[in-house]
Amino acid sequence: MKRHIILHPDPRLKKTSAPVADLSDALRSLADDMLETMYDAPGIGLAAPQVGVLDRLIVLDCVKLDSEAPRPLIMFNPEIVAASDEQNVYEEGCLSIPEQFADVTRPRMVQVRWIDRDGNEQTEEMDGLWATCVQHEIDHLDGKLFIDHLKPLKRQMITRKMVKLKRERAREKA
């Protein structure tokens, strides 16, 4: 089932998510819904707070080429356990901040540990777009948006555009 994606500014996007203590069928179902929502948007990552759930859950799939098989990842309680000193700059966007993009600098490679949908601990080294995406989504779990990595003026400009967009969408629904 497709979920509604919360748009910035919204106080729920600034809250820290709670660790998942026990994998329930409801949480697995939420993860499936999040993947469907992410693919439909379309996006390459989505965090539970973006659909109004303050649990430490993210989904991602950074496979871009149609010739490659999709690689959906569901991560409960993801954490970065190591990061490279080498940095990478990517133009980031966010499903909660549509049509707004900015260059963000993050570690080029990260080692991530998480619990998969079957309750098994997984560890993987990610680099490039995968590393950027997983860091971006984990930031959401800590109440941080990609625009929080920007200079205040640029962040304020994007936030003003988002307030205007939300107002326009509200008028269209009325």
- Within 9-151, where are the H helices? 25-40, 128-141
Cis omega (within 30 of 0) for bond into 98: no
Handedness of CA 144, 150, 153, 159 (dihedral sign): negative
CA atoms of 96 and 124, how far apart (whole Å): 27
CB 145 within 8 Å of CB 13: yes
- The active-site residue, picked from 91, 137, 168, 172, is 137
Has 137 been annotated as catalytic? yes
Residues with catalytic roles: 137
